[in-house]
């Protein structure tokens, strides 16, 4: 993550928190960031130093005025004026990290060979919440290489309870004893 992304993302979150707009701006910032990432030519256009800043800001107004909160539109204009539009995805990630920390949310990813049932997902979420004391935002991904079991990615830590990991560990143990 860029330093600009951290700085601007935190600043936007602080403003949103002061104005009680955290949820709204998180949703809108996420949508805008996804939209911009899907249109890299638009980010390039907004980053062109040869295009006057006023024109770049006008382009943002034409696309977003009345569709997103004025604070977010002004934030985008600030990034544009500072030549930091390419930092928008990092700003969004930092904003979400600050939001999650302030609201006691921990993001986790469960990787399984086959999709988990709703009951399994709920049970895993509840167990992680009991262990961590936080609200768990659980995302699931499938990876047939797991064969079975669950690999969890929680707060930068990976907990691997997959059959593939157990077989790999058994192989390491057997090679070590030979």
pLDDT in tens, 41-51: 888 888 888 88
Burial pattern 126-137, b for ≥16 Cβ within 10 A else e, equals eebbeeeebebe
Measured torsion, CA atoms of residues 28, 136, 154, 160, in degrees rounded to the nearest 10: -130
Q: How confident is the model at residue 134 (pLDDT cuts 50, 70, 90)?
A: very high
Q: Does residue 87 have a pLDDT over 90?
A: yes
**Calpha distance 149→152 (Å, rounded):** 10
Give the count of beta carbons closer than 10 Å to the beta carbon of residue 117: 9
Q: Does residue 101 have a pLDDT over 90?
A: yes
What's the pLDDT score for residue 144?
A: 86
Residue of 2, 3, 74, 72 lying closest to 31 (CA atoms): 72
Measured torsion, CA atoms of residues 163, 156, 140, 128, in degrees rounded to the nearest 10: 90
Q: What mean pLDDT is predicted for residues 55-76?
A: 93
Which residues partner with 108 through β-bridges?
Answer: 138, 154
Q: What is the DSSP annotation of 14-62? A: HHHHHTT-HHHHHHHHHHHHHHHHH-HHHHHHHH-TTS-HHHHHHHHHH
Structure-token pair, residue 109: 């990813």
Q: Does residue 157 have a pLDDT over 90?
A: no
What's the whole-model pTM score?
0.79
Q: How confident is the model at residue 156 (pLDDT cuts 50, 70, 90)?
A: confident
């Amino acid at each position: 993550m860029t330093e600009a992304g951290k700085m601007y993302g935190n600043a936007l979150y602080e403003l949103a928190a002061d104005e009680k707009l955290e949820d709204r701006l998180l949703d809108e910032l996420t949508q805008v960031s996804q939209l911009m990432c899907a249109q890299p030519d638009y980010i390039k256009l907004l980053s062109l130093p040869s295009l006057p800043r006023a024109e770049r800001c006008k382009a943002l107004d034409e696309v977003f005025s009345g569709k997103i909160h004025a604070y977010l539109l002004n934030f985008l204009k600030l990034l544009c004026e500072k030549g930091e539009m390419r930092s928008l995805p990092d700003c969004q990630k930092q904003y979400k990290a600050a939001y999650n920390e302030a609201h006691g949310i921990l993001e986790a990813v469960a990787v399984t060979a086959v999709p988990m049932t709703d009951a399994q997902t709920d049970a895993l979420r509840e167990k992680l919440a009991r262990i961590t004391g936080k609200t768990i935002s659980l995302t699931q991904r499938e990876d047939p290489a797991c064969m079975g079991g669950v690999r969890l990615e929680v707060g930068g830590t990976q907990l691997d309870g997959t059959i593939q990991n157990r077989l790999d560990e058994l192989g390491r143990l057997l090679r070590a004893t030979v």
